[in-house]
Amino acid sequence: MTDGPSLRSKLAASLPKSQRFVVHHLSTPPTPSPALYSAPPGQKPEKTTCESHFLSVTIHHNDKRIQIFALEVLIYTTQDLITLFVSKADSTGYIHLLKLPKGTASPLRTISSIFIAHLVDNRKRKDRQLVVSLFARSQNQYLFPGSIENPGKHVLDDRGLIKWWCRVLEPVLQSCESKSDTPELDRWLKKEPSHITSKAYLRVPSCDLHETRSFFPPHVRRNPALLTKWHPNKDPLRHLAGCAPTAPERCLIPRFPDDPKSRFVDELDDELTEPPPSSQTQESPSKGKQPGKWKSVRSLNQFWELMAFRQECSSGRLVGFLWAVFTPQQVADRLKESGPIPFAERVTRRPHASDGPGTFAPVVQPPMTPPAEQLVDPYLPDVDDQGFSPETVARAIGPPTYAPPAEETALVLPAKHYARVNRLLL
């Protein structure tokens, strides 16, 4: 983790100074989770933890608070990979009430970029890779039922939404590779320089190379140096899974909640030579002539070709699958010298000394009263008239049982309380 600016200060420095935004950041402690990747035949799945982060944004209008945006990110952690999955995002359409000047950068895109970059910055490790994964699929409404009835809500079409998310992730790629603002201080503190390379991958089933490249941000397409970081019609799945070249394709595709890839994998598992495991926590099939192999899909390229004919990706609709991969120099050197760590070794290896809090088990500390900083508001408002202050939340559900890192600004709650406050905010 890094001792950089808080989420509060990053948002305050980037959002329009003439407006007042109220941002609530909730999270859960990391808890054991089913593995993202199916284990190769005869192997046990990797130990995995998952934590949820929810961001809610409201504005002030006529002495009332009106919600404009919400975003949820799930963070999965294993021995060698940290995965941030953007699971939910939606707006209410009331941002037009701000009456921002024409040409002003979208605050929603700015907030999304800053929040994701903040999570990346606080979760990156020098000894493991980190990936941000998401899929862009246009819907009228997702988190806010009935919001489509608001005439002020502008719903992007498929192409517009894919372009929007590419523009969200571009600043994240740049921020994680930017040099330190205080190199002399870093040397005096004997801090190791942070060498991280970043790459972006985009797949849009049914689109060719030229069409896929058209979704990249305009300044990326015009800049050859930036364009080398973006890879159209490619994905990092085999590289991230770290399995042997002979591993079944089902072991290379992560299973995220409410993800088109995951639904397709579940259907393909019906083709296995023996019944698939009933849970990801069980071992993969190991018997049969081709254990763990699908009959109709024999490669990742074929998997993506067939994805183009899925109902979610056909009938004139486009779905974009986007990844941003961050590789520390230490990991890059290791991969170059000896390749990925064998899967069997990863699932039995003891945790790294640098794993830190929240890698494999929650760090439980004595009950504490959440500090006021945990409720993020760039403009230091008074207590919410709806009662969403740290103190009122603590009185309603009790104090949190997990102490977040010092630089975190989230109100960390157990899963059941996280869901309850989540519903209250929405």
Question: Comparing C-alpha atoms, which of 54, 38, 43, 47 is closest to residue 417?
Answer: 54
Helical packing angle, 260-268 and 300-307, nearest 10°: 110
E-only strand ranges, 281-422:
320-328, 411-412
Cβ of 395: how many Cβ atoms within 10 Å?
11
Rounded to a whole number of angstroms, the distance between the first and last alpha carbons of the chain is 30
What residues contact 190, with CB distance under 8 A and at least 6 apart?
A: none
Q: Nearest 5°: phi and psi at 32?
A: -55, 140
Q: What angle do CA 106, 171, 334 make, to 5 degrees?
A: 155
Catalytic residue among 259, 270, 377, 385, which?
259
Q: How far apart are CA 257 and CA 422, in angstroms?
A: 18
d(CA 158, CA 346): 39
The answer for residues whose C-beta is within 8 angstroms of residue 267's C-beta and 6 or more apart is none
Q: How far apart are CA 88 and CA 259, in angstroms?
A: 11
Maximum Cα–Cα distance across the chain = 69
Active site residue 80: no
The catalytic site residues sit at: 259
